């Protein structure tokens, strides 16, 4: 199947009625040529209907399955509908879409498979919590050890993906914490990964899923899931 | 030592488990595949309640002085393996459930698209 020259913006959203409209407006203003797909991950609030009112494509998961399954649904859609590249922008309004074209530009120019928008590479004006920084440092070591490339912001969900990455991630479920895991997975499949600095907003509505106590739980689970990198296909 | 009380309680427990499992199968609340394991376990305990010297021998070989302790150890190990087995199956069902849910969501989207196209086609033909 030949991919046409299309870009799909995948927006995973769970209970984001406070943010979804401004997220979509932001994307429509900054990436007007791209198609937008909202994956409504079993929200019980108005996330789904608000997204539909913004005239974008919405796929409703029948129940809440977590970010990993939501984003994978987006990759499956992108693969089936011949998108040549995809970008993930989370539904919580932390990722500024104005940085999107730059991610796509690097993806195309440097023939990368994954471009990560990093909030830690200098001059981005972002101060992460202590828990997030410590967790990230741990992922840095582990990923550097396993994949031989230093990635600074392993947990960033602001990313652009090539057709090849779309294919791999449509076929492979990356657990409930797909961001750090996908780096090692894609690298083990010979994909090229590039990280560039981006500005990020602090979240305003809702709560971050990462708190100090939970981050320990999070780290243990991610480290466990990283063990299964070399398994051929996990669907 | 006389383990009469242990013998009696093991016997009744085994019979209770056996009857319970069989009635669950009869009411189709438990499929036969899973009942087999539990019937085997109940059978082993039933046997042990009659021939507890076997357990004492095994305990002696294992260097366990108190026979019933060996029974507890045995039961704990069996339970551990069953729990791991159940976790494996649960993981399998979870990943199948996820695949089905994703498939349903993508198919529903396609169906909606098609019916929208059909409607516009129909109204164009009218």
Confidence of residue A126 (pLDDT cuts 50, 70, 90): low
Confidence of residue A187 (pLDDT cuts 50, 70, 90): confident
For residue A128, the model assigns a pLDDT of: 64
Q: Are A183 and A143 in contact (CB under 8 A)?
A: yes
pTM of the entire structure? Answer: 0.81
Name the domain count of chain A. 1
Distance CA B20, CA B14 (A): 10
Show the domain range for A181: 7-226
Helix ranges restricted to H, chain A: 20-30, 47-53, 67-80, 100-109, 130-147, 163-171, 178-188, 212-226
Distance CA A172, CA A233 (A): 6
Residue B124 has pLDDT above 60, yes or no: yes
Q: Are A3 and A84 in contact (CB under 8 A)?
A: yes
Instruction: Identify which of A85-89, A133-137, B24-28 has the greatest average pLDDT.
Output: A85-89
Per-residue CA distances from A100 to A10, A29, A97 (Å): 12, 11, 5
Q: Which long-range contacts (CB under 8 A, 24 or more apart) does B84-90 make?
A: none
Average pLDDT over residues A172-196: 87
pLDDT digits (tens, 9 = 90+) for A21-57: 999 999 999 999 999 999 999 999 999 999 999 999 9
Q: Do A76 and B106 touch (CB under 8 A)?
A: yes
Q: Do A65 and B101 touch (CB under 8 A)?
A: yes
- Does residue A108 lie within any of the structural domains? yes
Residue of chain A minimizing CA distance to B112: A59
Q: Do B105 and A60 touch (CB under 8 A)?
A: yes
Question: Which residues have C-beta within 8 Å of that of residue A117, sequence separation ≥ 6?
Answer: A95, A99, A103, A153, A156, A158, A159, A196, A197, A198, A200
Question: Which residues have C-beta within 8 Å of that of residue B40, sequence separation ≥ 6?
Answer: none
- Does residue A2 lie within any of the structural domains? no
- Write out chain A residues lying below 8 Å of B99, CB-based: 235
Average pLDDT over residues A139-167: 84
CATH number for the domain including A109?
3.90.550.10
Task: Give the closest-approach CA distance of B101 to chain A in angstroms.
Answer: 6
Residue A232 has pLDDT above 60, yes or no: no
Confidence of residue A204 (pLDDT cuts 50, 70, 90): low
pLDDT digits (tens, 9 = 90+) for B34-47: 788 888 888 887 88
pLDDT digits (tens, 9 = 90+) for A214-227: 777 777 777 776 66
Q: Residue A222's closest CA among A62, A40, A14, A67?
A: A67
């Amino acid at each position: 199947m030949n991919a046409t020259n299309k870009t799909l913006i995948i927006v995973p959203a769970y209970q984001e009625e406070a943010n979804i409209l401004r997220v979509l407006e932001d994307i429509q203003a900054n990436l007007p040529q791209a198609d937008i797909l909202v994956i409504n991950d079993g929200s019980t609030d108005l996330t789904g209907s608000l997204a539909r009112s913004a005239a974008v494509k919405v796929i409703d998961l029948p129940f809440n399955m977590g970010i990993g399954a939501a984003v994978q649904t987006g990759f499956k859609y992108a693969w089936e509908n011949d998108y040549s590249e995809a970008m993930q922008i989370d539904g919580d309004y932390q990722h500024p879409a104005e940085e999107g074209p730059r991610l796509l530009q690097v993806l195309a120019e440097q023939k990368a498979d994954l471009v990560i928008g990093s909030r830690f590479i200098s001059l981005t004006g972002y101060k992460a919590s202590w828990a997030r920084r410590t967790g990230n440092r741990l992922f840095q070591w582990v990923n550097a050890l396993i994949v031989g490339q230093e990635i600074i912001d392993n947990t960033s969900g602001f990313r652009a993906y090539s057709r090849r990455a779309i294919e791999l991630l449509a076929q492979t479920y990356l657990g409930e914490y797909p961001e750090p895991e996908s780096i090692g997975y894609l690298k083990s499949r010979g994909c090229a990964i590039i990280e560039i600095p981006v500005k990020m907003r602090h979240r305003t509505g809702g709560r971050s899923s990462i708190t100090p106590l939970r981050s320990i739980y999070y780290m243990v689970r991610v480290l466990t899931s990283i063990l299964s990198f070399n398994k051929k296909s996990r669907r | 030592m006389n383990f009469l009380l242990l013998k009696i309680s093991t016997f009744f427990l085994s019979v209770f488990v056996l009857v319970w499992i069989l009635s669950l199968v009869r009411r189709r609340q438990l499929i036969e595949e899973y009942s087999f394991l539990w019937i085997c376990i109940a059978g082993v305990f039933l046997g042990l309640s009659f021939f507890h010297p076997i357990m004492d021998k095994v305990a002696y070989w294992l260097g366990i002085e108190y026979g019933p302790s060996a029974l507890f150890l045995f039961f704990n190990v069996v339970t551990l393996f069953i729990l791991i087995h159940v976790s494996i199956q649960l993981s399998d069902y979870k990943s199948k459930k996820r695949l089905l849910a994703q498939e349903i969501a993508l198919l529903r989207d396609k169906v909606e698209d098609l019916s929208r196209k059909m409607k516009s086609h129909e109204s164009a033909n009218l």
